[in-house]
A and B are shown apart, each in its own frame.
Chain A
Amino acid sequence: MNYLDEFRDRQVVLGFAERIRGLVAGRTTPMTFMEICGTHTMAIYQYGIRSLLPAEVRLISGPGCPVCVTPNGYVDRAIALARLPGTVIATFGDMVRVPGSSTSLMEERARGADIRIVYSPLDAVALAARNPQLRVVFLGVGFETTAPAIAGSILAAEQQGLANYFVLTAHKTIPVPMQILAADPELSIDGYLCPAHVSAIIGANAYRNLAEGQGVPCVVTGFEPTDVMQGVEMLVRQVLAGESRVENQYRRVVTAEGNVRAQAVLAQVFTTCDVEWRGIGVIPGSGLKIAETYARYDAERAIPVAVEELREHRGCLCGEILKGKVSPFDCPLFATTCTPEAPVGACMVSSEGTCAAAYKYGR
């Protein structure tokens, strides 16, 4: 058992497909399910899951790619920081290619900025410890999955007494936008494939308001193809039975309460705030900012810098795509002026972006 092949078993997947086809046979209106998480979006494209589902089941992609929902203004600030002498930007790889108002970190690196790709925020802390003469700014982008590790990096920097480690945060939380999208009559979402690893932190109970209050079936679902197919079958069964509950398909990782220790670290280092989602706008109470106690680690507050004037990219349908209202193929820029080499919107950049997935696997 290596826990890879077992969850990619062809016969099991085809068995789910067969059952789902049987369950929805003869329905005249399709069921629309949204996968919120970018990792789900990628898995669905990568394994060709849509080609296995009947026409009566429609999967749409939501705003759960953290890079994609990071607004231009954030990228512009990161670029302004990168241009300061003695400043290193440490980041996960995807952020490097995200276009800001006029340039990207990738272009700034080619012009001489010091931008390092790290695989963990603790690598950025180590970089700061090794180079006391430099300022290291980590780009804290991500949902509840990533945020605890970044909170942990701030605690580690405090423990080591580092004065040269900073985080530029754009952390977001998932449940609030799910509630907003569920209430959008244009979308009429019949059920949510709830994120796998975000739920490992926040717990399956976090979706109870959504399921019980707003009447939207929710199934916490793993990222492997057998998980996704089972999650879809569970949603189909809820819709057919007229139910709306939180179910947990991903019980091997996710509990009802979630990771209490990670939640405590989040509560210690961050406070809830209103935050802008690219293409969607400001969603009250959907962000995490560094708490007052740790303000000295907050790049935005601790390092004053002039940021260029915000310029949005015309014609880019990122916002509508992130809300699941249009598919990448409906965007006039898709695969013409907007490609992974010359992205216009962040959805084309991130390995979890809907447009990147559609470009790479869907054409």
Chain B
Amino acid sequence: MDKDLILLGHGSGGKLSHALLDDLIIPTLSGIPVAGQNDAAVVEVGGQRLAFTTDSYVVDPIFFPGGNIGTLAVNGTVNDLAMMGARSLFMSVGLILEEGMSRRELATILASMREAADLAGIAIVTGDTKVVPRGKADRLFINTSGVGAVENGVEINGCNARVGDKIIINGTIGDHGIAVLAAREGLELGTDIESDCAALNGLVAELLHEGEYLHVLRDPTRGGVATTLKEIAIQSRVTVTLREESLPLKKGVKGVCSILGLDPLYVANEGKLLAIVSPERADAALERMRSHPLGRDAAIIGEVTAVSDGRVQLETSVGGMRGVEMLAGEQLPRIC
């Protein structure tokens, strides 16, 4: 293999992405260790802890059932802050436009960004706009950065999972990936699946009431639940055991996955979070989730079962046991 080539798989959120980060990007730019690699950095300024995050959005198509590239960008940034237990404060919006893009479409996207920001309680305070010649970008790419405040006592980190902890998800998996896939030109799947794109900061605010019992929060976006749990297992040096039967899954998503040979555990979500909670407060956390509109289908999907070098295993729906690895290769390029 030609090691000099950047491949689509390097943007999959799976193994190749991690290798690019670990071998090139992180050592060159910051050197931050694995244990500290989270959805947002937490920095201290004048005694106040701040969460700081950035993300770029290249989803294709830019409009899809349940959202568009703009709502995805705002909610994605809000969620990355929320996964550190931070209250969203400010964000930036960088637009890269392709020559010839429709101004009307841009207006629609900007309006939905403003609406999503207002809904999530985050202020868009700065930005930048560039235009590149036709063919040098695909209609619209967006970069967003966000800042949030982390209150004292909030200690949420991917390395905090402990043996006995329960894994909770706030609803059905794979909706976003399948909605975008179905919206792509040429795929007539006849589904009505909508993206789950949503801001999760309200739901997280509820969960923060569990205080020190809430150990890890992470949104399983690219790479899906499997890749995200594998990351956490490695960071926390534990084994996570999932029960396939308890994974919430829409019938339509299950059907499309069966037809196309996709494993829903690897399909992207944009309005889901995994919460890893002490066993004694797991039921209470589940109830809190279920009483929130974005957590009605919440379920306990597994638990942390052992200390290890970072393993994920799945008890299959028919009672067998198998390992779960990170996403390998490119499952669906440009999913977010």
Contacts and interface: CB of A to CB of B under 8 A. Distances in A.
Contacts of A107: 1-2, 5, 7
By DSSP majority rule, is chain A's interface helix, strand, loop, or mixed? helix
Residue of B186, B314, B318 with most partner-chain A CB within 10 A: B318
A111 B2 CA distance: 11
A8 B258 contact: no
Nearest to A9: B318
B254 A4 contact: yes
B316 A47 contact: yes
A52 B317 contact: no
A359 B318 contact: no
A54 B7 CA distance: 43
Nearest to A53: B320
Residue of A48, A50, A52, A225 with most partner-chain B CB within 10 A: A48
Given A4-B254, A341-B329, A360-B328, A10 B7 contact: no
A51 B329 contact: no
Interface residues of A, number: 40
Contacts of B251: 2
Given A4-B258, A46-B316, A361-B322, A341 B186 contact: no
B151 interface: no
A362 B318 contact: no
Given A4-B255, A106-B7, A360 B319 contact: no
A45 B321 CA distance: 9
B19 A341 contact: yes
A204 to B, nearest CB: 24
Contact of B318 (A106, A110, A225, A340): A225
Given A340-B329, A341-B329, A351-B261, A10 B322 contact: no
Interface in A91-105: 97, 99, 103-104
Given A110-B7, A341-B15, A10 B317 contact: yes
Contacts of B314: 48
B105 interface: no
Residue of B1, B255, B315 with most partner-chain A CB within 10 A: B1
A25 interface: no
A49 interface: yes
Residue of A2, A46, A226 with most partner-chain B CB within 10 A: A46
Given A351-B261, A361-B323, A362-B323, A8 B318 contact: yes
Contacts of A225: 316-318, 320
Contacts of B186: 118-119, 123
A342 interface: yes
Residue of A49, A50, A341, A359 with most partner-chain B CB within 10 A: A341
A48 B320 CA distance: 4
A208 B106 CA distance: 64
A10 B245 CA distance: 10
B329 A363 contact: no
A14 interface: yes
B328 A47 contact: no
Interface of B: 1-2, 5-9, 15-16, 19, 186-187, 245, 251, 254-255, 258, 260-261, 263, 314-325, 328-329
24 contacts: A2-B251, A4-B254, A4-B258, A8-B317, A10-B319, A46-B322, A48-B314, A48-B316, A106-B7, A106-B8, A106-B9, A107-B1, A107-B5, A110-B6, A110-B8, A119-B186, A225-B316, A225-B317, A341-B9, A341-B329, A359-B328, A360-B325, A360-B328, A362-B323
What are the 10 A-B residue pairs with the smallest beta carbon separation, nearest first? A48-B320, A340-B328, A13-B318, A48-B322, A361-B322, A225-B318, A110-B5, A47-B316, A48-B316, A51-B320
